[in-house]
Structure 1
Amino acid sequence: MINLLEASRGVQKVENLSVYALHLMELSERSSSILMVHKARKNGLPFWNKGPRADSDQVVVAFEAFKQLSHVSVRPMTAISSMMDMHEDICTTAERKRAALIILPFHRHYRFDGSLETSRPELRLVSRKVLTHSPCSVGILVDRGLGGSTHVSGSNVSYLIRVIFFGGRDDREALTYGLRMAEHPGISVEVIRFVVNPEAAGGEIVSFHMAVHSSCMKSLSMDEEMISELKQTASKDISVKYDEKVVRNATETLDAIQEVKQCNLFLVGATPEGGIGLLLDRHNECEELGPIGGLLTSDSTVTASVLVIQQYSDGNNNLATSEEAAVSQLEEGLQEKNKSSPDSN
């Protein structure tokens, strides 16, 4: 996470980057938890749990070091709430601080053998609620060890970040983020755009265009405008590269992505649009990652970290409609689990 923030600070806009590190703690009926709440209210200030050998100690040290080395404003905060209400603390804090982006860790972690492990399944519920109710854009980070334990600096790091672009507001947000990263002296950004083969006739491509012609023309126009600006940037900045992949269907698209999987970080939109984007299979085990994020996360041959971006849209978040039912099911399952588990007071 620290290295992702370092990559995000750019150079030109470093003074405009503020990081609020929100330490989430689950509220329970244990005395230690109640005392922490009392301490927070009494002091009226953000705090970290600094008990003996507390896990948060390492977090404090890491963020303090990042603050000193990068000259970025880092403000630690702590939120203590039940798992069912934790998303409210995240969203309320983001709104109060006027955050532009919330970055959440993926609820699964990679083991040394490359397999995925779910240690706290209820954290997925928190993430999906944030995606539905967030007051700003949201990124879910699938961390495969971006930069390892080494602090990123332009003098000794050469990173390649790939932005997968199909079109739509989420992809445009991911591209904007990638271009900011390109300001970092140790980072190169390659934008790969997937476009429909003009000779593709009949079947899914033609049907798609007939269905969306009237509703998506504005979004397509915004895509073209952004790509035009990107091409101009790439012609002047050696750290930015633009490439197009011409494909006829979803199968060719997935094959092409396999060819470019060697990098340090993928930036992808949660809901890709465009002629090919809407044809991708969106039914994967973790729908909050979207079709491309899900593909890159489940592929054991991919070693790059993945950041999935959902752009904020007032009253119409991309995943809100499809997520509501899934969130309700997760809540019911979590409540049943809590009822059946023995009291741990």
Structure 2
Amino acid sequence: MNTKGLVELIVLNIGKDRGVLNDQTFAIMVLMALVTTFITTPTVLAVYKPAQMAKSEYKHRTIRRKKSSSQLRLLTCFHSTRNIPTMINLMEVSRGTGKREGLRVYAMHLMELSERSSAISMVHKARKNGMPFWNKVRDSDPNQIIVAFDAFEHLSRVSIRPTTAISPMSSMHEDICSSAERKRVAMIILPFHKHMRLDGHLETTRADLRYVNRRVLEHAPCSVGILVDRGLGGTSHVSASNVNYTITVVFFGGHDDREALSYGALMAEHPGINLKRCSFHVDMIRAHNRCNLFLVGRMPEGQLVAALNKNSECPELGPVGNLLISPDFSTTASCTGRAAVSEPAIHGFAKFPQGRRVNRRRV
């Protein structure tokens, strides 16, 4: 606002015409205006670097580096009501011991804005009595979404903040990343751009959703997980009383796989979760048809990975994630691809609560 440009020169000319400025003062003021105008843009570009700031914060916001006593914050994104059952069941298995202060979820409904250029964020606040808000207009999908999350929050004691982000597809990743930065979440969970048909095969929902996921992976200030929805838990709500899940962490090695293992360790705190860590071998993974959920790193390390990197259809899922969604891999288990930033390796594994069953299989 201090660099007026042409307006400043007009004001100086008026001052000279009215005799307020002499020739020498006028020349000095014009030169100062030109210099200030020319150096403003390069200075702002050099000082204000939001992308680099986000990458710097990314190194500190992962599940691995979260203190065990601190609150876990997740940003779960979805595009339609099709994603709601799996998202709710994933929240249930991610809540750990079930303490309300242990998990806070920001559920963001992503809607495309076709006419207006500015993004609109609307936070739907829960009623003071804690009960779900039942809207009389049953045809309104957004209201039904809020009702589903409010009901889950009331029953499971998980803190959920539903949010609707309306923006063009070209800038949708900015809303996601900025919300993750403001809320200081440890992980963003995005839906895959394909959904499962009735015959069990994956079908592309919208091709441009794939590019939104890629941009989020590039600019996210925290870890990112892409959820391939194959009906985790079905349409019914997974509760602590009836859940009996087997979660397999496909482990090659590397930072992403360690982040996936940390997420699995957190899930193992939930009653009824059986966690398996499997050092990857293709034939053994094909035999794991009883598994409900796979957690894989996006960029694993090891000699076996080189063969999997060829002909990767969806690089945002990583080589192992591409194998799990391929038609040759017959399984109904959902898949979450984990992406973490490069950081020093931490040897060993997370400690699990006493009494929890954790199977580690090396093949």
**SS in structure 1 at match of 2:308:** coil
Shift of 1:16: 2.5
* Alignment correspondent of 1:311: 340
State which structure, 1 or 2, has the greater radius of gyration over its C-alpha atoms.
Answer: 2
Shift of the 12–25 alpha-carbon distance from structure 1 to 2, 3 Å rule, reads closer
Q: Is 1:124 aligned with 2:153?
A: no
Q: Is 1:100 aligned with 2:186?
A: yes
Q: Conserved in 2, the CA contact under 8 Å of 1:160 and 1:189? A: yes
Query: Which amino acid in structure 2 is aligned with residue 265 of structure 1?
Result: L
Query: Which amino acid in structure 2 is aligned with residue 4 of structure 1?
Result: L
5 Å matches for 1:13-28? Answer: 14-28=100-114
- Separation (CA, whole Å) in 2 of partners of 1:116 and 1:305: 12
- Separation (CA, whole Å) in 2 of partners of 1:271 and 1:279: 13
- Residues 45-68 of structure 1, C-alpha deviations (whole Å, 9 max, x = no match): 5149x8761222332122111111
Q: Conserved in 2, the CA contact under 8 Å of 1:283 and 1:291? A: no
Query: Which amino acid in structure 2 is aligned with residue 295 of structure 1?
Result: L
Shift of the 311–155 alpha-carbon distance from structure 1 to 2, 3 Å rule, reads same
Q: Which consecutive unaligned segments of at least 5 residues does structure 1 have? A: 195-252, 315-345
Normalising by structure 1, we get a TM-score of: 0.67
- Residues 18-57 of structure 1, C-alpha deviations (whole Å, 9 max, x = no match): 1001111111228xx99x95xx6xxxx5149x87612223
5 Å matches for 1:104-115? Answer: 104-115=190-201
* Alignment correspondent of 1:259: 287
Q: Conserved in 2, the CA contact under 8 Å of 1:139 and 1:307? A: yes
* Alignment correspondent of 1:301: 330
Q: Is 1:5 aligned with 2:96?
A: no
Q: Conserved in 2, the CA contact under 8 Å of 1:154 and 1:187? A: no
* Alignment correspondent of 1:268: 296
**SS in structure 2 at match of 1:84:** helix
Task: From the two aligned structures, give the one with the greater helix fraction.
Answer: 1
Q: Conserved in 1, the CA contact under 8 Å of 2:124 and 2:161? A: no
Shift of 1:193: 1.5
Query: Which amino acid in structure 2 is aligned with residue 188 of structure 1?
Result: N
5 Å matches for 1:71-86? Answer: 71-86=157-172
Q: Conserved in 1, the CA contact under 8 Å of 2:286 and 2:330? A: no
Query: Which amino acid in structure 1 is aligned with residue 160 of structure 2?
Result: V
- Separation (CA, whole Å) in 2 of partners of 1:277 and 1:178: 21
- Separation (CA, whole Å) in 2 of partners of 1:58 and 1:142: 23
Query: Which amino acid in structure 1 is aligned with residue 338 of structure 2?
Result: I
* Alignment correspondent of 1:88: 174
- Separation (CA, whole Å) in 2 of partners of 1:298 and 1:75: 34
Shift of 1:279: 4.2
**SS in structure 1 at match of 2:139:** coil
Taking only the aligned residue pairs, the percentage that are identical comes to 59
Q: Which consecutive unaligned segments of at least 5 residues does structure 2 have? A: 1-86, 126-134, 344-363
- Separation (CA, whole Å) in 1 of partners of 2:156 and 2:168: 34
Shift of the 12–55 alpha-carbon distance from structure 1 to 2, 3 Å rule, reads closer
Shift of 1:256: 2.4
Q: Is 1:184 aligned with 2:270?
A: yes
- Separation (CA, whole Å) in 1 of partners of 2:168 and 2:93: 32
Query: Which amino acid in structure 2 is aligned with residue 79 of structure 1?
Result: A
* Alignment correspondent of 1:46: 123
- Separation (CA, whole Å) in 1 of partners of 2:143 and 2:260: 32
Shift of 1:261: 3.7
Shift of 1:276: 2.8
Aligned partner of 1:289 among 317, 336, 339 = 317
